[in-house]
């Protein structure tokens, strides 16, 4: 039985160590392991392979498209004016007639 090798844990580098061992840092990133670099003890940057970076960008673009699709869907919903019972009918009421919308029943079982 053949097992697939697992990726090593994410590596954290101090900036001076990352500079001194940059080839190793790049090799780890190319193997798919994000390389975190700190500066003065605080997280500064993450080094990723080009493939991982492109996948991250595609994921963000797809998420953005889905969000825009949701917003467009919500904006396309019919806009019905809310009438006050004491208010007399106006010209706007004839242009935007009220729609009797009933919520649908959903079975959560």
Instruction: Determine the structural domain holding residue 61 and report its residue range.
Output: 11-76
pLDDT recorded at residue 105: 81
Mean pLDDT of 29-43: 95
* Domain CATH code at residue 60: 3.40.1620.10
| Distance (Å, whole) CA 45 – CA 35 | 8
Name the residue with higher pLDDT: 44 or 106.
44
CB atoms closer than 10 angstroms to residue 83: 14
Mean pLDDT of 79-102: 62
Residue 30 covered by a domain: yes
Count of structural domains, the chain = 1
Per-residue pLDDT band for 4 (boundaries 50, 70, 90) equals: low
> Assign residue 32 a region: left if phi > 0, alpha if psi is -120 to 50, beta otherwise?
left
Residue 16 lies in a domain: yes
Indicate whether 71 belongs to any domain: yes
């Amino acid at each position: 039985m053949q097992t697939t090798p697992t990726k090593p844990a994410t590596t954290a580098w101090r900036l001076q160590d990352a500079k001194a061992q940059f080839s190793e840092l790049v090799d780890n990133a190319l193997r798919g392991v994000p390389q975190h670099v700190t500066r003065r003890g605080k997280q500064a940057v993450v080094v990723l392979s080009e493939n991982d970076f492109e996948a991250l960008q595609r994921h963000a673009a797809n998420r953005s498209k889905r969000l825009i699709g949701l917003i467009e869907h919500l904006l396309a919903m019919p806009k019905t004016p809310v009438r006050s019972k004491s208010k007399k009918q106006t010209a706007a009421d004839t242009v935007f007639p009220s729609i009797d919308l009933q919520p649908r029943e959903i079975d959560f079982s």
